[in-house]
Amino acid sequence: MFNFSTRDQAKPLTDQAAGAADHAIKSTQDTVNEALDTLADSVEDLRSQATPLLGRVSEQTRAMAHRGADAVRASSHQLRDSAVRVSDGTVAYVRDEPVKSLFIAAAAGAALMALLTLASRSRPRG
């Protein structure tokens, strides 16, 4: 008759369980490797898509800075031209109306002194 010991009977089960565990570990490693490869590909795709976008944003920023500088330059020229016109107008007015200009200047100076005196009195001394 056949006389198998429990050890002899357990050996194939143990081998089978170890093989199943090895297969599960290998399968898990393969799945993780595939997931990492997919993630790496996704990151590379995002990087390749982001590079042109960043380039465009950089170009647009430079263009906006140039437009802003041009606008400031144009405004500065307009302001300078306006100041020259006002100055020329003032000189012409003083030349045409010297006495009236003198009285206007004196009145403006007196008003300014009155404001300064009033401001210095209302300030608390500390």
- The domains of the chain are located at 7-89
Task: Give the C-alpha separation, 46 to 44, whole Å.
Answer: 5
Burial of 23 (0-12, 13-18, 19+ CB in 10 A): exposed
Average per-residue pLDDT in the chain?
A: 86
pLDDT above 60 (res 1): no
Could you give the dihedral angle defined by the CA atoms of residues 86, 88, 94 and 100, in that order, rounded to the nearest 10 degrees?
-20
Instruction: State pTM to two decimals.
Output: 0.43
Give the three-class secondary structure for 124.
coil
Task: Give the C-alpha separation, 4 to 10, whole Å.
Answer: 10
pLDDT above 60 (res 126): no
Query: Going by C-beta distance under 8 Å and a sequence separation of 6 or more, which residues neighbour residue 94?
Result: 101
pLDDT tens digits for range 29-69: 989 889 888 988 888 888 888 888 888 888 999 999 999 99
